[in-house]
Amino acid sequence: MAHDLIGAELVVDAGTAEEVRATIVEVEAYLGPEDPASHAFRGPTPRASIMFGPAGHLYVYLSYGMHHCANVVCGPDGSASAVLLRAAGVTRGEQVVRRRRATTVPSDRLLSGPGNLCRGLAIGATDNGLDLCRPGRVYLEARSREVPLSSGPRVGISRAADLPLRFWWTGRPAVSRNAVPPVKKGTGQ
């Protein structure tokens, strides 16, 4: 399930000076060809073909000509569902991440947002199709712990955005700014 990825640890360039580890705190689920917002909506096109493959692989695409977004292919082979990684908290290699992010941002927001997450972890088009279940340049380590979970509507899309397919770790500041639902005045968050 999509929310099982919340709390998992993303490992990049393990064993090198560039090693970075981050805990996933926000994801967004995309269904198969029946989801108008999914890239799989138009069938197994060249770009979306990765999503039609086996689960556990990385699907990377370029958004707005400048930002990369990383997805984890989910579900059985052929179901074409995927989970977009929207935000994570750095647990190791903060200096490396900070150097990639030119501007000044709080430590908690270094990987906040799909585009920022890829920039901070140096995930690009060349990483498309990687198997995240085995050690490689990028892979996932499961973390079997319970975390407070919230869900809400998807963000940044124009179709079927109302479905409650976005999940995040309640109370984590790294949750992307655009994704945060309206907050009452004076709550300080």
Partner DNA sequence: CGCAGGATTTGCT
Partner DNA sequence: GCAAATCCTGCGG
**Interface with DNA (CB under 7 A):** 28, 30, 37-40, 42, 45-48, 51, 59, 61-67, 69, 71, 82, 84, 101-103, 105, 113-117, 155-158, 176, 178
Judged by CB, which is closer to DNA: 93, or 114? 114
């997805």: which residue's tokens?
71
CB of 176 to DNA, least distance (A): 6
Nearer to DNA, 16 or 183 (CB): 183
CA-based nearest residue to 72, from 62, 63, 59: 59
47: left (phi over 0), alpha (psi -120 to 50) or beta: alpha
Q: What's the closest the beta carbon of residue 145 comes to DNA, in angstroms?
A: 25
Q: Retrieve residue 5's tokens.
A: 């990825």
Q: Measured from the CB atom, is 12 or 27 closer to DNA?
A: 27
Which residues, at least 6 apart from 25, have a Cβ–Cβ distance to it below 8 Å?
Answer: 6, 7, 87, 88, 89, 168, 169, 172, 174, 175
Nearer to DNA, 42 or 99 (CB): 42
CA separation for the pair 118, 111 (Å, rounded): 8
Q: Which is nearer to DNA, 11 or 97 (CB)?
A: 97
Burial of 94 (0-12, 13-18, 19+ CB in 10 A): middle
CB of 158: closest distance to DNA in angstroms? 5
Closest CB 98 distance from DNA, rounded Å: 12
> What minimum distance in Å lies between the beta carbon of 13 and DNA?
21
